[in-house]
Amino acid sequence: MTVLQSLILGLVEGLTEYLPVSSTGHLIITQYLLGIDKSNAMDAFEICIQGGAILAVLGLYFKRCTRMLMGLLGRDDEGRRLLINMLIAFLPAAVIGLLCAKPIKDFLFNAPTVTLTWALGGIVILLYVRKRSRRPDAFGGAPLEQLGWKGALGIGFMQCIAMIPGTSRSLMTMLGGLCVGLSVAAAVEFSFLLGLITLGAATAHDALKHGGDMLHHFGWQPLVAGTLMAWASALVAVKWMVGYLNRHSLAIFGWYRLAAAAVMLGLIFCGLQTEPEAEPAASPAATATP
């Protein structure tokens, strides 16, 4: 992998990780267009450059994160409640992820699955927007401080659906927050904050398990370049999305997902690789399942 390719992948990762459009599908298309083969080392690279996107959100919500840290030290009751809610929301993904990671990777990490979930997610968004426009009083508008543990757990189970590639973790957690009565701003914020734990755990897991193999294949320069680009592009994407959703609905993302599904379907017919290639048998680290 060249540094230029890593910069392009980092740009795509950062722009799509926190938007409700699924970064997985975009990275599949980007790899195909760049001529990069699927491999365990490549999968680990995609996960590890998420670290840049995580740092972007950490910086944007630094005050909120500081309050949670103070809550952990017993100095901020509101911060402690938010931290507890985030841990409760993370728990379902942690358990189900450990139990189902291998079958999900073996059977669902492919272009046809992403195409289907992109389309279904787009339809769900548009149906939600339509229903909300007809019955605005039926949807909540509570601030993040009013989220209880039951609501947090519900968001956590919604996040588990996003283990299916193409679904989008951000989409599921945002819809989960809206369904339990949060305002749009609160649902978006909780989704981003929950991503710090969920994505952080995934990044740490893959870095520890396949970091050596990844560095052997690509070197450290592409990793650093991709991570920095993911940080910069995520910073722009998150700021834009927060401002956009304060004035508009989610409909644009629904239409975008349907268009992306159509593009993916066209690429499949044009020869897009739909399954990861087998790793060389001589490399035990490369054949390990993440």
Closest among 165, 226, 203, 188 to 22, alpha carbons compared: 165
- What is the band of 14 on the pLDDT scale with cuts at 50, 70, 90? very high
Which residue shows structure tokens 């989610």?
250
Spatial separation of the C-alpha atoms in residues 22 and 118, rounded to whole Å: 8
pLDDT tens for each residue of 146-174: 999 999 999 999 999 999 999 999 999 99
Mean pLDDT within 224-248: 94
| Whole-number pLDDT of residue 39 | 82
Q: What is residue 35's predicted lDDT score, i.e. its pLDDT?
A: 86
pLDDT score at 273: 56
- Grade residue 140 by pLDDT with cuts at 50, 70 and 90: low
Q: Is the pLDDT of residue 276 over 80?
A: no
The residue extents of the domains of the chain are 3-287
With 50 as the cut, is the pLDDT of residue 284 above it?
Answer: no
Mean pLDDT along residues 73-93? 95
Structure confidence by residue, pLDDT tens digits, 207-220: 888 888 888 888 99
Q: What is the mean pLDDT of the chain?
A: 88
CB atoms within 10 A of CB 266: 11
pLDDT of residue 4 exceeding 70, the answer is yes
Report the alpha-carbon angle 177-146-169, nearest 5: 20
Compute the C-alpha angle 216/280/7, nearest 5°. Answer: 40
H-assigned helices in the chain? 3-16, 23-34, 40-48, 50-60, 62-72, 77-108, 111-134, 149-161, 169-179, 184-218, 220-245, 251-269, 284-287
